Amino acid sequence: MHPFKIVPLAIALSLLSGCASHKPPPRPGSIHAKVEQLSEMSYLQITDLRAVKRNHLLTVQAEINNTDSDNQQLYYRFKWLDADGFTVGSEETWKPVLVYAYQKQTLTAVAPSPQATDFRLVVQSPDNTGDLP
């Protein structure tokens, strides 16, 4: 094959392979299974997630760790799901949080109704690698 014909083929293959995710699916019950990152964050890490039912309502606490020496802006919201995996209530508003350098910030949220038995934490930070999670 002519060498110039191989180059476009290699580009096409690399593009195709870029579309396919190499990461294995997150383990059920792990933090990654509960977190949806809108592009992977470089400096902010979700280090802890706790969920408990209080007064019939699921209450969630997440710990965000800023590993950078600069302050980081985080946008987040929770998605609430019922036992069948359907969303409960309307979409939450995006909430801005400033996480100081090397700070551990705690986010808490209460489910909108007793039907919510599961959740997803959706996060986005402007300073990120741009890679899909």
Question: In the complex, which residues of this chain contact another protein (CB under 8 A)?
Answer: 54-57, 59, 75, 77, 89, 91-96, 109-110, 112-114
Residue 50 vs 95, nearer CB to another protein: 95
Residue 31 vs 122, nearer CB to another protein: 122
**What is the nearest approach in angstroms of another protein to the Cβ of residue 27?**
29
**What is the nearest approach in angstroms of another protein to the Cβ of residue 112?**
6
Buried b (16+ CB within 10 A) or exposed e, 16-45: eeeeeeeeeeeeeeebeebbebeeebebbe
What is the CB neighbour count within 10 angstroms for residue 107? 19
**What is the nearest approach in angstroms of another protein to the Cβ of residue 86?**
15
* C-alpha to C-alpha distance for 24 and 32, rounded to whole angstroms: 11
